[in-house]
Structure 1
């Protein structure tokens, strides 16, 4: 028992030191915004948007507005809790504080497991995209190279990670802005000739071709495009000024929603939604009407940068979550350690082993089964947002007086966010792949919860024996 108290005291002091010093490096608020861009804008948006457009039609624009507003509420909940009480464990530490050890355990391990599978799918996708130029090279070679490069970036330290992720964020944001600017020039007839008659009314007519059911089914896909927002909370402990986390996130989300909606608008302006196929990026489909040289290779390179930066951001965040779990004794104690440069090498190694196991599964499992698992990973991330909003509701009631930044519209915005997230996840039950992904995700959460209950009973029994 004496050793337990010593360990807890040491961990408490380490947390305080980390929060005070911000680790070994500091980030400006705009860097955190760009890190968020790098984490959120993934290959899924450039590729997967085709499927959501096929299901919802032009109504996908409404879905992105709904998902963007909900994501803003989720971020505001994280920002409110972070400004009031900066913690390296971010959302899982707050869940533990609000609802007890079990909820912190579930939230942390759900996020870690989802992150591992997302990294796995992104690395396989990266290898596949690279194979576009080198079809004779085995996919696994590129996969290993990208994983090694991602770990190398993390080992460079927080400051270099921030610079590299900021660069990727700029590349992805610039790509979408250039596409939007090109669309504006076409829309206002400032460049030409146009390949055929384009009419902006084609975007809206009909707006909801597949009815409310189509919008409902596609809503989960739009939420996937915002997945990864939690990295802002995790990386916020590295900010020079913790009070700027709200500025960083709000700037990032406003820019993100704007470029998402405008870029999809111009995709639908260039080509009819009925001509968009899920097997090809809708951006390539839209730009192919202009006969732009090397458009396939250009977008392939952009998709690679999008997927890689998402993988690196996920590696950073899940490794830090594993450290937080270890500090609260929800993972082996040894994983809480950091070296002199502040790098959690042991947690990074364990995450790497889990990623390796996931990659092996991706090569030996039937394609459909692994697709269900990766879909479940996305659903797990979105369901974790329900825990974040529920945590904010509980802590706001308990700590109303100490909140300097308060989530707009509370409590209605928090309950609205939870309702829309559950609506989106339930819409995933319509399609076969999404339905199985949702069921797998619910099953995984149940397993993690049962493990947390078993752990709680073991700790209670041990403490009872020690006290006797």
Structure 2
């Protein structure tokens, strides 16, 4: 009786996520406000050493996802690690893992909504934050209530925008570093000037790891989408195996550019560091575009949080 019940549960989820959805979700899942907005306070903790923080944390994340991927390919279910803990450990651990995840991402979702209000205030400073938060909450909830394909399509295009913007920023950033355009004459000297690579010592480096690990929140979404992927045995291994490369390009590449262009102790907390740098260049349109990108990133992360929590 129990086996039949479990079989019925396995087939209750429609596999509506195509391979292109899975690949873009995997690409975009690890890119959110932790990179665009949350990097500013982390830089204050560790300075240019944030590059090493992302490298070390990224390595740990890759190993964890390899382990999760092995189980998800063998048994692609939406419950992911909560299901595996329940099946291979005991019921309490599965219960604890699931509710811990749900609670954590409910709190993270509220943080994303707060970030969305900040980004919108860049253009509409007179609109109350609670109103923009409510509007975004209603829109994202409506998308998730349609079907899983609607979620996958929205994430596909949101990830496309995020990844395109990050690659463009990295390429343009290196162009600024190696040319005389703008007010960035120091090339890579900002990485070791102003107190060195670790201006706050080992304590600042250790403290930064907690914030940096939070920035990687979302990579676990790859395991949760396994229950609704059309061909999980093909799409999951590809998505997970490319995770380390994405971390090297998106996080470490971005931080190298950011730390080279701006002294670490002058990165402000009131707006995205990327927006501030492009404003310094004197290209106001670029800062507006970047603000749009970080807004899309925050909306995308909250969309994924709503999706993953409903499955968990």
Instruction: Give TM-score scaled by structure 2 length.
Output: 0.92
**Which stretch shows the higher mean deviation, 296-305 or 306-315?**
296-305
Alpha-carbon offset, residue 15 of structure 1? 2.8
Distance 1:33 1:68 in 2: 19
Alpha-carbon offset, residue 291 of structure 1? 1.2
Is residue 2:255 matched to residue 1:264?
yes
Distance 1:210 1:259 in 2: 25
The structure-2 alpha-carbon separation of the partners of 1:153 and 1:38, relative to structure 1 and needing over 3 Å to count, comes to: farther
Bigger radius of gyration, 1 or 2?
1
Indicate if the aligned counterparts of 2:190 and 2:261 stay in contact, CA closer than 8 A.
Answer: no
Distance 2:163 2:151 in 1: 18
- 2:106 corresponds to: 116
Is residue 2:148 matched to residue 1:154?
no
Q: What pairs up with 1:226-237 in 2 under 5 angstroms? A: 226-237=216-227
The structure-2 alpha-carbon separation of the partners of 1:187 and 1:298, relative to structure 1 and needing over 3 Å to count, comes to: same
Q: What pairs up with 1:104-253 in 2 under 5 angstroms? A: 104-189=94-179, 192-205=180-193, 206-244=196-234, 245-253=236-244
Alpha-carbon offset, residue 218 of structure 1? 0.7
Is residue 2:33 matched to residue 1:39?
no
Indicate if the aligned counterparts of 2:36 and 2:294 stay in contact, CA closer than 8 A.
Answer: yes
Alpha-carbon offset, residue 24 of structure 1? 4.6
Is residue 2:2 matched to residue 1:13?
no
- Specify every segment of 5 or more residues in structure 1 that has no aligned partner in the other structure, as ranges: 322-468
- 2:245 corresponds to: 254
- Specify every segment of 5 or more residues in structure 2 that has no aligned partner in the other structure, as ranges: none
- 2:311 corresponds to: 320
Alpha-carbon offset, residue 262 of structure 1? 1.1
CA deviations on 1:187-211 (whole Å, 9 max, x unpaired) are 333xx43425223233234212211
CA deviations on 1:114-163 (whole Å, 9 max, x unpaired) are 12222222223323322332333332222221111111211231122112
Distance 1:301 1:267 in 2: 19
The one of 286, 294, 302 aligned to 2:277: 286
Q: Which protein, 1 or 2, shows the higher relative CO under an 8 Å CA cutoff with sep ≥ 6?
A: 2
Indicate if the aligned counterparts of 2:170 and 2:257 stay in contact, CA closer than 8 A.
Answer: yes
Alpha-carbon offset, residue 10 of structure 1? 5.2
Distance 1:313 1:52 in 2: 24
Q: Matched residue of 2:125: which SS?
A: coil
Alpha-carbon offset, residue 252 of structure 1? 4.1
The structure-2 alpha-carbon separation of the partners of 1:196 and 1:106, relative to structure 1 and needing over 3 Å to count, comes to: closer
Alpha-carbon offset, residue 53 of structure 1? 1.1
Distance 1:282 1:127 in 2: 17
Instruction: Give TM-score scaled by structure 1 length.
Output: 0.62
* CA RMSD, Structure 1 to Structure 2 (Å): 2.0
Q: Matched residue of 1:264: which SS?
A: helix
Q: Matched residue of 2:37: which SS?
A: helix
Indicate if the aligned counterparts of 1:54 and 1:278 stay in contact, CA closer than 8 A.
Answer: no
